[in-house]
């Protein structure tokens, strides 16, 4: 399977997971928070300003590294469970893919889920900042080649 198609497939899976809640905000928010609580915490060493994402109301740290296969691995943490849940969705979509595939993929699942309505405009802006940071990492790793 083409890498971009694989990213689309993961997005489709997430959209299907959320479709079970039929737009119910309470269930969706609790599900996102549960995902957040399942995400492995980041070592305190990485909770530095250089990994902090500006534009988020809560604190979010995101780091990226490249494995032997040339794929980017993202790790993240946040001081709030909901934000951790949101970033865990992005990690599920983008982690383990090559920089060029990440750059070529829009996170369309967010609109399909109706994330703006679920988490409100302030969190939504934070989510945009997280996506920008993922794309920045992908571009800078691509330029290294």
Partner 1 sequence: MIETGSIEKIAYDITELRSRFPILGREVNGYPLVYLDNAATTQKPSSVIDSLSAYYKGYNSNIHRGVHTLANEATEAFEKTRKSASEFINAGEKEVVITKGTTEGINLIARTWGEANIKEGDRILVGAAEHHSNIVPWQILAEKVGAAVEPIPLSQEGILDREAFKSMLDESVRLVAINFISNSLGTINPINDLISDAHHNGSIVLVDAAQAAPHIEIDVKAIDCDFLAFSGHKMFGPTGVGFLYGKYDLLDQMPPFIGGGEMIDQVSFNGTSFLTPPLKFEAGTPNIADVIAMDQAFGFVSDIGFDAINKAEKEIVDYSRSRMSKIQGLKEYGTAEEKIAVFSFNLEGIHPFDVGQLLDAKGIAVRTGHHCTMPMMSDLGIEGTVRASFAVYNSMEETEKLWDNVERIQKKYGSS
Q: Could you give the residue numbers annotated as active site?
A: 56
- Is 79 an interacting residue with respect to partner 1 (CB under 8 A)? yes
Closer Cβ to partner 1, 6 or 80, answer by number: 80
Q: Where are the beta strands (DSSP E) in the chain?
A: 60-66, 72-78
Number of residues engaging partner 1 in binding (CB under 8 A) = 16
Q: Is 11 left (phi over 0), alpha (psi -120 to 50) or beta?
A: alpha
Which CB atom, from 10 or from 119, has the smaller least distance to partner 1? 119
The backbone torsions φ and ψ at residue 142, rounded to the nearest 5 degrees and listed phi first, read -65, -40
Site for partner 1 in 8-67 (CB under 8 A): 24-26, 29-30, 33, 37, 57-58
Instruction: Provide the terminal-to-terminal Cα distance of the chain, rounded to the nearest Å.
Output: 24
Q: Which stretch binds partner 1 (CB under 8 A): 6-14, 73-81, 100-108, 135-143?
A: 73-81
């Amino acid at each position: 399977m083409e890498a971009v198609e694989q990213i689309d497939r993961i997005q489709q899976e997430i959209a299907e997971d959320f479709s079970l809640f039929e737009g119910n905000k309470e269930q969706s928010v609790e599900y996102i928070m549960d995902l957040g609580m399942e995400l492995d915490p980041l070592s305190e060493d990485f909770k530095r300003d250089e990994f902090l994402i500006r534009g988020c109301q809560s604190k979010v740290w995101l780091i990226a590294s490249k494995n032997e296969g040339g794929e980017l691995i993202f790790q993240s943490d946040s001081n709030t469970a909901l934000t951790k849940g949101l970033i865990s969705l992005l990690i599920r979509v983008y982690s383990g893919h090559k920089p060029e595939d990440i750059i070529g993929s829009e996170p369309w699942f967010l609109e399909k889920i109706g994330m703006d309505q679920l988490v409100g405009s302030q969190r939504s802006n934070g989510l945009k900042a997280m996506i920008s940071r993922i794309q920045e990492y992908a571009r800078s790793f691509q330029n290294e080649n």
